[in-house]
Structure 1
Amino acid sequence: MVTAGIEDADYKDTDLLRKFLSDRGKIRIRRLGRLTVRRQRAMARAIRNAREMALPPHATR
């Protein structure tokens, strides 16, 4: 992914995924992430895959 300075949406890159999660653990909307529709879908898919593997915490304090 080149949009918003992102190379690729990889589910193992938790630091990148955390930028697109709210403090409650929800996926941020496309407008706030400055992503295209295609990139937002890929990011959401990567976040869901990472959640399935229990990589990121669901909520932070």
Structure 2
Amino acid sequence: MTFIRKPAGQAKPQKYSTDAYGRPAGKFRRNGPIRKKVCRFCADKVEIDYKNLSLLHTFVTEKGKILSGRMTGTCAKHQRELDTAIKRARMIALLPFTVN
């Protein structure tokens, strides 16, 4: 059995750099580069309050766990304030500790 090699054509010019396996180098998704998440408290100048339950519910999972700053995009300063506000709301029974 003999193998016939195809003649090598010219390579297409690439729009981005690739790694050793031909995949796009850096942080890419299928639709383009990954956008950096922006802290919504810094951008909108929103104040974190333990009585604002609609705001606090967006940073808590269905099971009652506090979402990390990497998932929500909040900066370290506001993540600490958010953590304190959620714990304070739990202590006075505005938010549940866990959901059964």
Larger relative contact order (CA 8 Å, sep ≥ 6): 1
The two structures have a TM-score, normalised by structure 1, of: 0.84
- Normalized per residue, which structure has more helix? 1
- Any residues of structure 2 matched to 1:3-22 within 5 Å, and which? 3=42, 5=44, 7-22=46-61
Aligned length: 61
- Tell me if structure 1 keeps the 8 A contact 2:56–2:86: yes
Cα-Cα RMSD: 2.1
The two structures have a TM-score, normalised by structure 2, of: 0.53
Unaligned runs of 5+ in 2: 1-39
Percent of aligned pairs with the same amino acid: 33
Largest Rg, 1 or 2: 2
How far apart are the structure 2 equivalents of 1:42 and 1:6? 14
